Amino acid sequence: QVQLVESGGGLVQAGGSLRLSCAASGRIFSDDDMAWYRQAPGKQRELVARVTGGGATIYVASVKGRFTVSRDDAKKMLYLQMNSLKSEDTAVYYCHARQDASEFWGQGTQVTVSS
């Protein structure tokens, strides 16, 4: 089993920055894919950024150039550096891990960007 706990959300003005953290525990391995998703009110949950076990990263088009995903496998941490935040980035952000056929979710952290 894998447990994921997010932190770092909050209220920020448009143009500001936040850094989200996800602490993983349990049987998480460096070759497991990890990702950040978000869900805005009334919308479906969407992938924001993913980092594979090999270190490859992908981003949804709307955050490219503004967000950076990274991981520290020694500390079992996943990060999302968010810069130049926009009101449309307001959402609950979830940490996600995929391990073979299993997937795990954190409880989410709220990010609110005021315009």
pLDDT of residue 27: 85
What is the total residue count of the chain?
A: 115
SS3 sequence of the chain = CEEEEEECCEEEECCCCEEEEEEEEECCCCCCEEEEEEECCCCCCEEEEEECCCCCEEECHHHCCCEEEEEECCCCEEEEEECCCCHHHCEEEEEEEEECCEEEECCCEEEEEEC
pLDDT of residue 42: 95
Kindly state the tokens that stand for 3. 């447990």
One pLDDT digit (tens) per residue for the chain, 115 residues: 899 999 999 999 999 999 999 999 988 888 899 999 999 999 999 999 999 988 899 999 999 999 999 999 999 999 999 999 999 999 999 999 998 889 999 999 999 999 8
Q: Please choose, from the candidates 82, 110, 107, 111, the residue with its C-alpha nearest in 3D space to the C-alpha of residue 4.
A: 107
Q: Are 18 and 10 in contact (CB under 8 A)?
A: yes
pLDDT of residue 13: 98
pLDDT of residue 30: 81
Q: Are 106 and 94 in contact (CB under 8 A)?
A: yes
Q: Please choose, from the candidates 6, 3, 50, the residue with its C-alpha nearest in 3D space to the C-alpha of residue 25.
A: 3
pLDDT of residue 54: 87
